[in-house]
Structure 1
């Protein structure tokens, strides 16, 4: 009996270990491989920018409705006065402050070829500045907003009761709102395209288009990466606090303009004209046209 058992155990042979894996072990991924650090780009930025652009017509509608249903008179609000400090020191020279905010942004770009990125950004700023000049300052004579006013029947009406005769005569010959006000006349009678609605919308959309990639980059890396969201957002807001502040002020002043000044059609036309340069360059040409991207570049981090 014992010999049979010995033979059975000896015939079974040594036990062979069966491998548990069919290939080499997977390599350990680094933190940068586990967490992508590049934010969505191109199409994602485009969609976000389109959504942001809807804030401004919504603001005009909200402010206009408030002006209709609110029982509070204009005299009760500080912002209903044209000489309020925010209007005088900021909105009246709004493109200057927009340019300062833009320069703060491009000074802090992180692009590998930062000189090239800044030069392309300055080209885009030049186009936005040209649009602002043509609408509000000069268009081979009077700017487009003043030409619109006179074409629709407006003119500078002198006030013979309060003006000297010589100034009243000059008022009748004024073809721009600035010249009319300078002589003491009243710019009256035509469609007064809202310069505030135009400038505030135009400037805001320009800054959003330029600064959005940097904001999305900081939020994306903070959300999916190994780093904490708070320091990344602190980095963006720390560097771009001025950009963010100007965007917030421009939105607030657009709301105040919508509540206290201009008719529906004047505010809507100002907003609509503001869409032209932004819509052509940022919403159409840069996202969809490779040649335009090579010529004007793309907003970057």
Structure 2
């Protein structure tokens, strides 16, 4: 611990006043929270949840003040009593990070050892954050669909919210595994980019109809990152016995559907949670993200910002103005 600085630079969300504010502060390293392992943070990323955690009305932050950043990658500065080694490249995401425990928007982070994933061979720290929380959620979605029986040749597969972090990575992974993918977006200008990620077709989100609980069977499977009426429309148009992996609620938390898709077509709703995913499965999926689930990392990293530019990036993602993955260079 003697080699660690006494204080670290961090972006802090403070909701103690009438309105929340983001400001840069020097925090004593002892105030980074509980945990066995201290990590020198090199990279983080910008996620919709980070934007919510930075706002008083976001209803995500559970401590105040909070260092946001729900994912990070860097090197072990102090392994504590863990089996990790000083200088080892690692990544952390999920659990309470950036929500109820100071997160990745600081030069250092202290976390419990059982939150830490050793960086898989084949991924750099920057590439790991190109994947990040969003990409891990996408990979969990693809794995869940394949475990349910989805296989290349059973076409087409639908991805909603396709320009977002989860959707774009899911599209890239599915296309790379040989699936015919239809991408859904409200951003017509992003169609060429979605095709570059592997989309065989691009639909405007208005094409999804949630007015009827059962519609023509079309999709062999789906990754839904939106929720609300979009998820209802997906359920209504899945093929018999197909499944949708759902992980988002930007379109609303209420799903206006009936039991008909489930009891008349045997469709399945697979809930995807990356936050409390057990560490063993987490490490297994990350190993696959470096190999057979590897997405098109260069195409997905659409923006890169310094820590000082994160407030503006958070505003953009909350306003729906971001696409793909925005990386944060911390160190």
The TM-score bracket by the shorter chain reads under 0.3
**Structure having greater relative contact order (Cα 8 Å, sep ≥ 6):** 1
Higher strand share: 2
TM, length-normalised to structure 1: 0.22
Greater share of helix residues, 1 or 2? 1
Larger Rg: 1
